[in-house]
Amino acid sequence: MYLLKQWRESRIISTLAALALILLLLLVLKGSVAIDTFHSHGNNDNQGFAFIFVPIFYVEAALVAFWGWLAGGIGAGKNLGEDSGSFLFTRPRRRAWFLWSDWGYAMAQIAAIILLMNIMIGFLIAHALVLMHSPGVVQLTTQGQPVPLTFIMFTISVGVLLFAGLIYGLSYFSTILIKRTSGVMLAAGILVAYLILLGILHHYYPAFHTPGLIMNVFNFDQHSMYGLSGNLAYNFAARTVAMLAFPAAAQLILDHSEI
């Protein structure tokens, strides 16, 4: 029942995501052929290959977070803006039920997009690793132990999921806050303001540590990769709390709103 509404509301952006995934699939197939050609020229640099994970992570994070930002404009906040809130909220369910259904549906879509993207990208890398005679493992640094590809892809997936979930939650929260779809613009404003604030703090108080919008899954500088970040579990836990804070705050507002 409610799934029907969610699908009807999100089908345009879901179709966009599906098209993007198809495009990625085509690129993966093309890339697979390119890797075969590359390998036939005798290149076996596993460690250099590791640097590909950094752009993968940031590009994925940006794309999926953009999708999450758009998806935040859909759901109960949109209904409030269209004046259909009194219809929706006179269906016999708690307001929180509608909110967490919206959130669950969007997060399931975000997770599915990330999963499919990383399966395709992982397939491409796995193919290259087989050709380099190190199937399933990647030498991230010269000194460290090889890291299983599945673990790297899992780490990237969780990192991207938490970032996209944070952006989606902020966007959804903003639409509930101002009771209309244009709340997504408020969310964009909040993000820009946060980035400016980070820049100012970093400039005037370099020692003051402020959490970035996106977690650093990999330690690296311009020239070297230092492997996966330490305290991944702690980072994941803290960012999960941050991600859940926005829908929780949206629930608080919605529960006390006059519809």
Q: Minimum distance between the CB of residue 83 and another protein, rounded to whole angstroms? A: 4
Among 19, 48, 82, 196, binds another protein (CB under 8 A): 82
Window contacting another protein (CB under 8 A); options: 4-12, 114-122, 199-207, 227-235: 4-12
Among 49, 77, 79, 174, binds another protein (CB under 8 A): 79
Q: Minimum distance between the CB of residue 78 and another protein, rounded to whole angstroms? A: 10
- What lies within 8 Å, CB to CB, of 57 at 6+ separation is 156, 159, 160, 217, 218
Q: Does 9 bind another protein (CB under 8 A)?
A: yes
Q: Does 36 bind another protein (CB under 8 A)?
A: no
Window contacting another protein (CB under 8 A); options: 24-32, 76-84, 116-124, 166-174: 76-84
Window contacting another protein (CB under 8 A); options: 32-40, 77-85, 150-158, 193-201: 77-85
Q: Minimum distance between the CB of residue 68 and another protein, rounded to whole angstroms? A: 22
Q: Minimum distance between the CB of residue 5 and another protein, rounded to whole angstroms? A: 6
Residues between 83 and 142 that touch another protein (CB under 8 A): 83-94
Give the closest residue to 247 by CA, choosing from 166, 151, 137. 166
Window contacting another protein (CB under 8 A); options: 29-37, 43-51, 82-90, 153-161: 82-90
How many residues interact with another protein (rule CB under 8 A)? 22
Q: Does 15 bind another protein (CB under 8 A)?
A: no
Nearer to another protein, 95 or 239 (CB): 95
First to last CA, the chain: 22
Rounded to whole angstroms, the maximal C-alpha distance in the chain is 68
Structure tokens at 148: 């299983």
Q: Does 207 bind another protein (CB under 8 A)?
A: no
Nearer to another protein, 248 or 259 (CB): 259
Q: Minimum distance between the CB of residue 169 and another protein, rounded to whole angstroms? A: 23
Q: Does 5 bind another protein (CB under 8 A)?
A: yes
Q: Minimum distance between the CB of residue 93 and another protein, rounded to whole angstroms? A: 7
3-state secondary structure the chain: CHHHHHHHHHHHHHHHHHHHHHHHHHHHHHHHHHHHHHHHCCCCCHHHHHHHHHHHHHHHHHHHHHHHHHHCCCCHHHHHHCCCHHHHCCCCCCHHHHHHHHHHHHHHHHHHHHHHHHHHHHHHHHHHHHHCCCCCEECCCCCCCCEEHHHHHHHHHHHHHHHHHHHHHHHHHHHHHHCCCCHHHHHHHHHHHHHHHHHHHHHHCCCCCCCCCCCCCEEECCCCEEEECCCHHHHHHHHHHHHHHHHHHHHHHHHCCCC
Strand partners, 218: 228
Site residues for another protein per CB under 8 A: 1-2, 4-5, 8-9, 79, 82-94, 258-259
